[in-house]
Every structure is written in C-alpha cells, then in structure tokens.
Structure 1
C-alpha cells in the first residue's frame, strides 16, 4: 500500500452532490493506515461545498473510497479554493 496519492478525485457531499477535482493525500507518519489527510482543489465551487463539514465520501480512481471531514478552506485565487481534509476511514490509496 502506498503512503501518498496525488491526482483526480470526486468528493461526494452529504446531500449526494458530486464535485470533481484534484487531491494530494498522504498517510500520517505515526498514524498508520487510518491516519491520513491532504487537500482537495475542486473544479467548481458551490455554496454546498463551502458549507461542507463531516462525513463526506472521497472517491479515487478504481472505485477506492474513503470517508473524510473538511478541516479548513482557503482561497487560492479569485476562482480557486483549497480544502483541507482529514480521513476517517482506512486510507483508500
């Protein structure tokens, strides 16, 4: 099992809305496979995404899925948002 993943992903919000984007994820050195986190840069920004919190699904290629919580958001440019995520399930990468 790898300790990092960077590439395409899909974030599914609690209401079922899907947002595509790019992620950069890694396991925490001391956390084992259950300790992982990273960032998500969505292709589009919606109000629901800005209000996202806990219990979201992050889907990576090949149907690998993990549960994540949003721990922060920061504006990169006028049209880009970087979302910090923390895994709540075993790492899907």
Structure 2
C-alpha cells in the first residue's frame, strides 16, 4: 500500500482549482489503480459543495489523478472533509 499526505489541489469540472490538504492511499491489495482518501479544502465555495464527478486531484510535481466525491461532511463551522474515490493510476 502506498500513501500520500500533504498539500493538494482539487480541480473542479469547470477548471477552478481549490487548494487544501489530502490524505490518500492505494487499496490494500496493492493495485495502483484502486485508490482514494480524503480532502480538506482551505475554503468552501458553492461550486465545491456541488462537485461530485469529473474532478481531478493535483499533487506536487504536477501529478494528477481523476477522482469523484463519494461523501462530504462538516468538521467545524468553516471546514469540510470530502471523501474521494480515485480512478486510473494513483498520482503518488
């Protein structure tokens, strides 16, 4: 299993990018095409609240992977934690 925890940007379907912190891992079977995790955006916008499919996760060094939001939940009054499911090769 490979993991990544650190800064990331979620690129919305319209091209807008949202900075935040990601915690990602490959699935426990070692298949690098099965990965997911969580993303905590630095700020919450209306576009981000509606985001579900057609998204990309960009990690440092221009590593990009396709993701979909599977769940969102409030952490605090001003923070949201988004659960992600990745498709294709893991970008880490």
Shift in Å, 1:30: 2.2
- The number of equivalent residue pairs is 92
- 1:25-57: CA deviations, max 9, x gaps? 000112600000100000000011000011201
TM-score using structure 1 length: 0.95
- CA RMSD, Structure 1 to Structure 2 (Å): 1.1
Aligned counterparts, 1:3-82, within 5 A:
3-30=2-29, 32-82=31-81
**Rounded Cα–Cα distance in structure 2 between residues aligned with 1:48 and 1:31:** 34
**Rounded Cα–Cα distance in structure 2 between residues aligned with 1:20 and 1:37:** 17
TM-score using structure 2 length: 0.96
Unpaired runs of at least 5, structure 1: none
